[in-house]
Amino acid sequence: MFEVPGMKQKSYAVFETGFMQRWDEKITRLRLKIDHPWLDFFFKYTANPDKYPLFYVPALLAFLAYIVASGNAALLIDAIVLILLSDQGASWLLKKRIRRYRPGSWYLGPEHADDDAMRHRRGFRERKIFDKFEGYERNSHSAMCSSHAGNFLAFGLLLQHALATSGWLLLPFVLVGVGRWYIGAHWASDILAGWLLGFLAYRIVLYLGTGTWLLALLS
């Protein structure tokens, strides 16, 4: 098993052979059953908003237009603090400490079939399916948790709060996380952890009113 500096094996074994990994593999089997070219095309774009931002440009423009129209500079600061909190929380609290394999790099091809040390990672069909998405981040150890899922849910919640709209606005932001699972960038538990972190970041920023008191501090 790979080594993680500063962590004992029992601290992260659950992400390699433990109950969470077994649960994630079961959820991945569901992913295999719904594999379809149309879903491949759809989630290729929704799961990579940094590469294909078309889905989210209207939401960002609406957010900026609201800030300009209302003169609510505090909301812009809230958004910046929110993303920093969610993104760095995912990176420093989880990604760099747990160093979990992404599904696209965890499953092994036929060339590793005789490797007893990695037999628990065999999954030829899974490997082939995830390879459709350009072998997403092969050999990456940053699966837990999904910063994309957390960041976009947090921003979607803030946008919904600012515009006082119904829950439908959250759908495209939630689909980012679903897409990250579909293309093999993350396990299902990585997405759930990312959503939880994003929600907590949103609640903290909303509760503290960081934008308001930072503006007061600077004025």
Q: What is the pLDDT of residues 105-150, one digit of tens each?
A: 777 766 665 666 676 777 777 777 787 776 555 556 777 888 899 9
- Residue 151 CB neighbour total at 10 angstroms: 27
Please state, in angstroms and as integers, the Cα–Cα distance from residue 200 to each residue in 80, 118, 163, 203, following that order. Answer: 15, 36, 20, 5
Does 3 reside within a domain?
no
Amino acid at 163: L
Does 95 reside within a domain?
yes
Does 24 reside within a domain?
yes
Does 184 reside within a domain?
yes
Does 132 reside within a domain?
yes
Number of domains in the chain: 1
Does 78 reside within a domain?
yes
Does 8 reside within a domain?
no
Rounded to whole angstroms, how far apart are CA atoms 105 and 211? 40
Rounded to whole angstroms, how far apart are CA atoms 157 and 203? 9
Confidence (pTM): 0.83
Question: In the predicted model, what is the mean pLDDT of residues 79-101?
Answer: 82
Does 185 reside within a domain?
yes
Q: Which domain holds residue 190?
A: 17-218
